A and B are shown apart, each in its own frame.
Chain A
Amino acid sequence: MFGEKKPFDSGKYKNKEAFLFLLPWILGVVLFTVGPMVQSLWLSFTDYSIYSEAKFIGLQNFIEMFSEDRMFKHSLLITLRYVFLFVPIKLIAALLIAVLLNQNVKGMSVYRTIYYIPSIVGAGIAMAVTWKIVLSRDGFVNEFLGIFGLGPFDFLTNPKMSLTTLALMGAWQFGSAMVVFLAALKQVPRELYEAGDIDGAGKVNQFFKITLPMISSTILFNLIMGIINAFQVFTQVSVITNGGPADSTYVYMLHLYRTAFESHRMGYSSALAWVLTFIILAFALVIFKSSQKWVYYEN
């Protein structure tokens, strides 16, 4: 170990090697993530419309946001509603399906693949447009419901239903959360279930008293990831309903997009972006804090 030190083994060279390998990633992060973040923070204190120079205006953007912007509050409320619909549905669906798929039934890998497909296919714009057609008054879903005599529903064009429909469409792509849950379920030690059987606990009881606590760290992970993604929902909303009908699906990111690219106010939308960042951060912190009470870590 302390043998003859060749020049290539000297500590200094090792550092340089490592640094060189890291360089592409560092450049990428600085140029495409950290740099723009800093620029966006600067822009949020300016009035900038791409055509003219950025004009420093201090906290005016933020003041306007909280006092004059009537769509700010509205879009925030809509987004919160979306988050509280989308996240629970997605997590519960992912968990239940994962439990189902955690059995030793023949052909299980085929089933797993099938349940994962929506996540691959569903995120695209083509799928979003398809949904719009499928859920329309003359679409497949309403035709199917018509067989049972259920009247045509305006899933996407009735202001009362549109947001829930979008949340369900988003939650349909639970594949990645499901896979993570599946991995966690497999790690729950067999002995616990056997002990439960001996003590006479039913399957449902075992689920709540054994399974859930043992995978609580994974639940935490999926919860945080789900919330972060839900707050940033944009593509599907923009393509399918574009905030309508009657502003019922006007999510925060849509407001940001419009201020930036319709009203050409890059400074203001940068401010909006940072406010969203802090809101998400606040949610994450609160959840982390509360996790001390309900998450069980093996170590």
Chain B
Amino acid sequence: MRKAKLFTCSLAAFAMVLSLAGCMQNNGAGTEKPAETVSAGDASKSGETDKGNTARKEGNTSLRFMWWGGETRHKATVDALELYKRIAPDVEVKTEYSGWDGYFDKLTTQLAANTGPDVVQMSYTNVAEYVARNQLVPLDEYIEKGVLDVSNLSESTLDMYRMDGKLYAVPAGVSTSLLFYNKDYFDKAGVPYPTEDWTWDDYMEAARKLTMDTDGDGKTDVWGTAYMVNPAGPDITFKKYIYERGGRMWNNDLKSVAFNSEEGLSAVEFIKKPLDEGIMPPLEITASNPQNVDDFQTGKTAMIINVSPMTQTYMGMGINFGIECTPKGAEKEARWVNPSMVYCITKDCKSPENAAGLIDFMVNSEDAGDILLLERGVPGNSAIRSRISGSLSDMEKRMFECIEKSTSTDIENEPFPSGYMEIHSMLVREFENMMFGKYTPQEFLDVVEKESNKILEKFSE
């Protein structure tokens, strides 16, 4: 009798445990973090691979290298790291890569738990806040020692990451804004292709001619220009237009905004103008694009001003397009080169000198450059640029040319303040509100100024 009782009790307990596992229903999960899930539009895997985890010799350093990107970037990086094994055989590099979504949530959590990676790929916008929180290690020591060579990198991009006189990040690649145009639509509308001498007026006029009905159903289905939402966000365009008009984004101390100005207003109105004139796709159409897909890719617009890495994306889609440098005609030319992304060393790195060596390899090694090519944007190293330009397609060559020309000395490329990532998300949403007509351009600037200052204040405590 006792045995039977014990048996039924344990059976009941076992059944309860099983039912608990089955009860993992998704009922209005308030605390679930969807950031862990990989979005369907992002074709990358999330995972940790242990590279070469064979016999660990005494005195072997191991470095964790973390980055985000798609499959081609992962493959190229892993292949390049194979080469590194030959150069530094006692350094074992463990790779951790994932998609963009949730990347910084993951990094933040790791750093808070003091388990951050050694070398980390960072967005070109958020280095300042990680420095403010003491998460990154200054690189000057390793430059002086000759471990990390920055002589072939553009000074202006390095300047963006000097805080308190110390350098905290090295560009992994560079990018700039370019004018992309769909040759098929231009041919159809009979509009001559853009040239280097195009002004913004030329651009707008062409856009008007290129807004047309291509399938004869009486409804416009191709527009001349686009509202740049995915993936870079309208704040890139906003910054460019402000610089062109001679304005600034931030005050000198980076603690408050300077874009609620005459130049800012003019910039915002210029962004809204195509919508008012009906020469850009209605917002509902742009909003229904899958994540990270823009109107140029869906064939809804004949021209778009976007960042240079999009070249690869558009090429991959087989669109018949051309590249030109952005139009002139505003007060300033404002063509400048931005880093596409950067490499940093975190405070959790136990052997920063080796980490600096790895960064040096990724940025300066010619063999690595041959493998990595344009996976992280155009190489920041001018020597590598000239080396690989021979093997590029015409499109990519034109992109290189525009980058070499993007050395406007008539503007000052301000660094990004701490808190910029949050400001960026907020700007994307408020721009959308403004475009939908929720505020006038001036009201929009007032709201955004207030919110941005609130965010910036957090970091100056």
The stretch among A91-99, A119-127, A199-207, A209-217 that forms the contact with chain B is A119-127
Say which one of A178-186, A187-195, A234-242, A290-298 lies at the interface with B. A234-242
- A residues with a Cβ closer than 8 A to B are 8, 21, 24, 50-51, 123-126, 129, 132-133, 136-137, 154, 156-159, 228-235, 238-239, 243-247, 253, 256, 258, 261-264, 273
The answer to whether B40 touches A234, judged by C-beta atoms less than 8 angstroms apart, is no
CA distance A8 to B2 in the complex (A): 10
Contact assessment for A235 and B432 in the assembled complex, using a CB-CB cutoff below 8 Å: no
Contact A157 B284 (CB under 8 A): yes
B40 touches A235 (CB 8 A): no
Q: Is the CB of B433 within 8 A of A235?
A: no
**8 extra interface residue pairs, beta carbon distance < 8 Å, beyond A229-B27, A229-B28, A238-B34:** A50-B109, A154-B287, A157-B284, A235-B34, A244-B429, A245-B432, A261-B35, A273-B30
A51:B133 contact, CB within 8 angstroms: yes
Residue of A nearest to B33 (CB): A261
B residues engaging A (CB < 8 A)? 2, 9, 13, 17, 25-30, 32-35, 37, 39-40, 105, 108-109, 111-112, 133, 283-285, 287-288, 290, 421-422, 425, 429, 432-433, 436, 438, 455
Residues of B within 8 A of A234 (CB): 28-30, 32, 34
B288's partner among A123, A136, A235, A262 (CB-CB below 8 A) is A136
The minimal Cβ–Cβ distance linking A152 to chain B, given in whole angstroms, is 9
Given contacts A123-B26, A244-B432, contact A235 B284 (CB under 8 A): no
Partner of B287, one of A133, A244, A247, A256: A244
Q: Closest CB-CB distance, B111 to chain A, in whole Å?
A: 8
> When chains A and B are docked, how far (Å) is the Cα of A239 from the Cα of B35?
10
Beta-carbon contact of A232 and B30 below 8 Å: yes
B436 touches A159 (CB 8 A): yes
A129 to B37, CA, bound (A): 13
Specify which chain B residues have a CB less than 8 angstroms from the CB of A246 in the assembled complex. Answer: 432-433, 436, 438
Q: For B9, B17, B284, which residue has the most chain A Cβ atoms within 10 angstroms? A: B284
8 Å CB contact of A154 from B2, B32, B288: B288
Q: How many angstroms between the C-alpha atoms of A258 and B436 in the bound complex?
A: 22
Task: Point out the residues of chain B lying under 8 angstroms from A244, CB to CB.
Answer: 287, 429, 432
B-side binding surface: helix, strand, loop or mixed? Answer: helix
Contacts of A262 in B (CB 8 A): 421-422, 425
B-side contacts of A235, CB under 8 Å? 26, 29, 32, 34
- Chain A nearest CB: distance from B39 CB in Å? 8
A246 to B17, CA, bound (A): 45
Point out the residues of chain A lying under 8 angstroms from B112, CB to CB.
50-51
Q: Which residue of B lies closest to A245 (CB)?
A: B287
> Smallest CB-CB separation from A51: which chain B residue?
B133
- Chain B residue contacts of A238, Cβ below 8 A: 34
Minimum Cβ distance to chain B for residue A227 (Å) = 11
- In the complex, residue of chain B having the shortest beta-carbon distance to the beta carbon of A8: B2
B28 touching A247 by the CB < 8 A rule?
no
Q: How far is the CA of A244 from the CA of B433 in the complex (A)?
A: 9
> Closest approach, in angstroms, between the C-beta of A171 and any C-beta of chain B?
14
The verdict on A137 contacting B32 (CB below 8 Å), with A21-B9, A243-B429, A244-B429 known, is no
Min CB distance, A136 to chain B, in Å? Answer: 4
A-B contact pairs, 15 of them (CB 8 A): A8-B2, A125-B40, A129-B40, A132-B288, A137-B285, A157-B287, A230-B28, A231-B28, A234-B32, A234-B34, A235-B26, A243-B429, A244-B429, A245-B284, A245-B436
Residue numbers in B under 8 Å from A137 (CB-CB):
284-285, 288
Chain A residues with CB under 8 A of B283: 157, 245
Shortest CB-to-CB span from A147 to chain B, Å, is 15
B422 contacts A239, C-beta separation under 8 Å: no
Contact of B429 among A124, A125, A247 (CB under 8 A): A247
Q: How far is the CB of B129 from chain A (nearest CB, A)?
A: 9
CB distance from B302 to the nearest CB of A (A): 19
Chain B residues contacting A247 (CB-CB under 8 Å) are 429, 433, 438
